Amino acid sequence: MEEIYLDNAATTRCDPQAANIALELMTTEYANPSSLHSKGISAHKRLDIARQQLATSLGCDPEEVVFTSSGTQSNNIGILGSARQRSKNGGGIVGISTMHPSAIKPIEYLGSQGMCIDLLPPKPDGSHDIEAIANAVAEDTILLVCDFVNSEVGSIAPIERISRAARRKSRNIHIHVDGVQAFGKVKFSSRSLDIDSMAISGHKIFAPKGCGALYLRRGAKIKQLLFGSSQERGIYPGTENTPAICAFGHMSRIVCDNFDERHARVLEICESFVKKASQIPGVCMNSPPGATPYICNISIPNIASEPMIHFLAARGIYLSGGSACSKGALSPVLTAMGLERRRIRGALRISFSPQNRAEDVDKLIEALRIGIATL
């Protein structure tokens, strides 16, 4: 049975080039990059190359790239570390209520520790309300956390405008961005965004799981959360996952160097799907206009998402009902958008990649029609 994979926002299939690089680093350049002998030095050089590759892709200096084990780790370090660094100054934290749990949960934890937090809802279409964010930031606000691309509906935040508005209100604010769904899919430079930190992840861009990175602007200080040796400037101590890191660095250049071609391909596929899905009676579009073409969220209000997901999977078509980390719970994103309950329960997230083909859309549309008639 042919496989049609449309759950790329959850994870991507590891690219063969990335897999070969990881294999090489596990079997040939396998030494600990902190070891002082020649083999360790060779492994460290490969680590330096990967750091430079990530820095080029992010538009920053290599010294501003900290390797971690995941996007979740990067969000936790960026949020908790910056908040604790500034907590002595008082002030509160502003975030967006529809962010990924790896950003929401650390903020809620800080709230449980006595810090004042304000989680703002999105506009009804799922986009960010810049005016509301600016109004929520006060002179003593110490941290603003924002997602770049929403992991469920694909809305793209105007980060540059948000950061300008926030810094006009608070001079000492730290701005952290969850860029996991944006990296490689939205064109940006960390410099022009005017942010202090950003989380990204390897397995969202065809690199192996188990590797993420934190962009930390030069001069931005965060409190150390983990303790051990001095790897990654002590921010994320421990032996680096060199195989995954080197694969991550390589794929960052592949997706960014070929951004326009890849984006055009995904846009064409997504537009074709939206046009054809809109012609199916009862299908509702949940992704707002201007959302990334990599994520398209729809609802079939009369059919719960889980049986439809299983129906499609039995036919070799794989997608999800929302963020993989929600594990089937009612979507907080669609709930915050004010959608009715049956529409939320019938939500499906289709996430495309350049590996998808036009015929994948036709087969998905046909399967959806049969699924609706059957279920």
Catalytic residues: 325
Distance of CA 245 to the CA centre of its chain: 17
Q: Are the beta carbons of 312 and 6 closer than 8 angstroms?
A: no
Sequence length of the chain is 375
Rounded CA-CA distance 102/147 in Å is 11
Q: Which of 105, 153, 111 is nearest to 348 (CA)?
A: 153
As a whole number of angstroms, the distance between CA 75 and CA 157 comes to 17
CA distance 47 to 54: 11
Alpha-carbon dihedral of residues 318, 336, 175, 77, nearest 10 degrees?
Answer: -60
Q: 371 with 282: CB under 8 angstroms?
A: no
Alpha helices in the chain (DSSP H): 16-27, 38-58, 71-86, 101-112, 130-136, 159-169, 190-193, 242-257, 259-277, 305-313, 332-336, 341-345, 358-374
Alpha carbon distance 342, 169 (integer Å) = 40
Q: What is the CA radius of gyration of the chain?
A: 21
User: Number of helices and strands (H, E) in the chain?
Assistant: 13, 12
Q: What are phi and psi of 132, to 5 degrees?
A: -65, -40
- Quote the DSSP letter at residue 320: B
Instruction: Provide the angle, in degrees to the nearest 10, between the axes of the packed helices 242-257 and 16-27.
Output: 150
